[in-house]
Structure 1
Amino acid sequence: MTSGKKTPVVPRRALRDGVYEALLEKLLDGSMPPGASLGIDSLSRELGVSQTPVREALVQMEHTGLVTRVALKGYRVAHPLPPRQLAELFDARGMLEVAAAERAVAHTDDLLPELRAAHAQHVLCAHRVRKQRGDGGPPADYSDLREYFQADWEFHLTIIRAADNRFLVQMAESLSAHVHRMRQTADHGALDIDQAVAEHATILAAFESGDPEAPSKALRTHLAAVARRAAEDA
């Protein structure tokens, strides 16, 4: 007779998520470059876990496009987005985010405190990255870079959520993995931190101005600038 107890799923899920985060950091620091083979057995030994959470994390990554799986060859790190797909990504972001900004204007009073907080966090994370790169070289730990990218994306998500449309949020979340894929091969010595922080400040000021057309214009300008910088680095 069985005890009837269910197997707890939270610890296993937490372990999978921990492995996923560890693999993301390897993508950021360049230790898993595009095209690199990802052996489940070797990764499990390196991370000190069983093969199951590694396999689950890789399946999750495959769904996001960060890794690919080839029959009989296993998993590999996805190659950078080609120029056409990069342009399509920013085209999609422009349509989604500008539309969200136009709708968010109606909720400016509620949005502003959250957007100011998101911008402050972005500025803080940018400061941490600059501090670790004081000598011009890459930091020993890329957790600061991951936090910076998360803060950057959270600024955008704050505006999208303010549009008060759950489907816009879902579409943005589906794009987030592709945005990360674009960043995973960033030149870690030439990040556009100063430009991004300044452009976010302009977007925040646009919402503060009370001009209903200013936020969408500022956001459109920012995305165009990011697309241009990404194309130059491709």
Structure 2
Amino acid sequence: MTSKETSAGSGRQRSRTPVVPRRALRDGVYDAILEKLLDGSAPPGSSLGIDSLARELEVSPTPVREALVQLEHTGLVTRTALKGYRVAPPLSPEQLAELFDMRGILEVAAVERAVAHTDDLLPELRAAHARHVLAAHRVRKLRGAEGQPTDFADLREYFAADWEFHLTIIRAAGNRFLSQSVESLGTHVHRLRQTVDHGTMDLEQAIDEHAAILAAFETRDPERPRAAMRDHLAAVARRVSADG
């Protein structure tokens, strides 16, 4: 290889090297801002200054700006000309109704398709339910006997386990486009958690309803899982409406 080729190769390598670190930095900033949105430290309507966030996170303004653009697409953040970015207001009653309507359409369809793969699904669904139960147990311990509310950092594992139970069924449906559609609702489910008071969580009800869905799959009756999922989503919607 000539020195010219070596130099050219080194130049190409140098030009590619920053891509992954920059993406990792942007993703890290995205996660940090997302946690601020969900833990209440950046409440709905509050301003999100690029420079102040960059100083707080000890990064340059560029990854902050890129992360805010991503968050704007999720609906968690809004941008107004000449005013910059703000935390989006909580979901309105109409938006909540539409969110649960869409979840019902997509998740019941996923259940209908997943029943054909019940034998493969059941071990994974049992494991997902066990993780959800364990996460709920940890939240109860953190709350103590008086049931004091916990902050989002304490609830992160619980929320992730709750959503993973649903995603386990959705993946078992075997339709990548259905999976992508449901997973895109994940950020809106996060917005839902902005709306609901952390002190009025439905730990017991959610665990019981997930157990009913699991038991319905175990019957091998194709109708029962669909009914159990529909009942669960309707119950969550009622609880959220009551909290609001």
TM-score range, shorter chain: over 0.9
Percent of matched pairs sharing the same residue: 76
Aligned CA-pair RMSD: 1.5
Q: Which amino acid aligns with 1:44?
A: A
Note the C-alpha offset of 1:72.
0.7
Q: Which amino acid aligns with 1:137?
A: Q
Query: Is the 8 Å Cα contact of residues 30 and 185 (structure 1) preserved in structure 2?
Result: no
Cα-to-partner distance string for 1:101-138 (whole Å, 9 max, x where unaligned)? 01111100000011111111111211222222215334
2:12 match: 4
Bigger helix fraction:
2
Note the C-alpha offset of 1:217.
0.4
2:132 match: 122
Query: Is the 8 Å Cα contact of residues 125 and 144 (structure 1) preserved in structure 2?
Result: no
Ranges of 4+ aligned residues in structure 1 off by more than 4 Å: none
Query: Is the 8 Å Cα contact of residues 123 and 197 (structure 1) preserved in structure 2?
Result: yes
How does 1:208-223 map onto structure 2 within 5 Å? 208-223=218-233
22-31 vs 105-114, greater mean Cα deviation: 22-31
1:78 match: 88
142-151 vs 42-51, greater mean Cα deviation: 142-151
Aligned residues: 233
Provide the secondary structure at the position in 1 that maps to 2:85: strand
Provide the secondary structure at the position in 2 that maps to 1:169: helix
One of 55, 61, 68 as aligned partner of 1:51: 61
- 2:191 maps to 1:197: no
How does 1:1-234 map onto structure 2 within 5 Å? 3-5=11-13, 6-134=16-144, 135-139=146-150, 142-234=152-244
Question: Equivalents in 1 of 2:61, 2:138: separation in Å?
Answer: 34
Query: Is the 8 Å Cα contact of residues 126 and 214 (structure 2) preserved in structure 1?
Result: yes
Gapped regions of structure 1 (runs ≥ 5): none
Question: Equivalents in 2 of 1:12, 1:195: separation in Å?
Answer: 42
TM-score between both structures, scaled by the size of structure 1 = 0.94
Query: Is the 8 Å Cα contact of residues 62 and 69 (structure 1) preserved in structure 2?
Result: yes
Query: Is the 8 Å Cα contact of residues 200 and 243 (structure 2) preserved in structure 1?
Result: no
180-189 vs 58-67, greater mean Cα deviation: 180-189
Q: Which amino acid aligns with 2:148?
A: G
Q: Which amino acid aligns with 1:207?
A: F
Q: Which has the higher contact order (CA 8 A, sep 6+)?
A: 1
Question: Equivalents in 2 of 1:196, 1:144: separation in Å?
Answer: 17
Provide the secondary structure at the position in 2 that maps to 1:68: strand
Question: Equivalents in 1 of 2:37, 2:143: separation in Å?
Answer: 19
